[in-house]
Amino acid sequence: MKRNTLYKYTKIICSLVMIATLWGCERDDICATATPTTPHLIVRFYNINERTETKTVRRMNVYEETNSKYLLLDKTLDSIVLPLRIDVLDASNTTRFIIERDGDFELDEDPETQSNIDILEVTYTSELIYVSRACGYKSVFNNVVANREKDDDNWMIDVQVINSTLNNEDAAHINIYH
């Protein structure tokens, strides 16, 4: 009889401990994959003569000026996704991207396929926004300004900022006309 009573109490105590443990977990402890995170900069390339028509860039190479690691290597695309650096919060930051068109054609004699490098400079202010306990913080980029560095042979003719606040990756933020 004592053994049954002891077994019964042990069973109840174990059940209570398990319920208390499960009660402490919250749904918020796992960051859902659909939760928005720090957005990347989306750049779309357009035809300078038909400004509503996208235009691919042949054999594009892209890297950030302070890092020689390629973000994109030998791709023909009409849009790219680029990460922005955060050096200082709530202050002006600048990221410069080297964008090369017709990469690896140095020996080609055709001027239409000669390698050409332009620099895209993006200036912005970063701000941290709390998402949730599980996901932590995400960065939002405000006051985005983009310019191309002028040289003797720019292939990027015009740069236009479409969204000066980067808080999602739903649409292009910058249009480049070439």
Q: What is the mean pLDDT of the chain?
A: 87
Nearest residue to 177 (alpha-carbon basis) of 43, 42, 44, 47: 47
Strand order in the sheet with 70-77: 70-77, 57-64, 92-101, 116-132, 136-148
Asked whether the whole model's pTM tops 0.85, one would answer no
Query: How far, in whole angstroms, is CA 90 from its chain's centroid?
Result: 19
> What are the backbone angles phi and psi of residue 169, rounded to the nearest 5°?
-120, 35
Residues near 13 by Cβ (< 8 Å), separated by ≥ 6?
Answer: none
Residue closest to 40 by CA, chosen among 174, 130, 150, 157:
174
- Identify the pLDDT of residue 111: 56
* Predicted local distance difference test score (pLDDT) of residue 95: 96
Residues 34-63 have a mean pLDDT of 95
Q: How confident is the model at residue 107, as a pLDDT? A: 47
Nearest to 103 by CA among 79, 77, 82, 74: 74
DSSP string, 57-119: EEEEEEEETT--SEEEEEEEESEEEE----SSBTSEEEEEEEEEESTT-TT---GGGS-EEEE
Stated as kind and residue range, the H or E segment containing 17 is helix 2-24
pLDDT digits (tens, 9 = 90+) for 148-165: 999 999 999 999 999 999
CA distance 21 to 36: 30
pLDDT tens sequence across 62-89: 999 999 899 999 999 999 999 999 888 8
Residue ranges of domains in the chain: 30-177
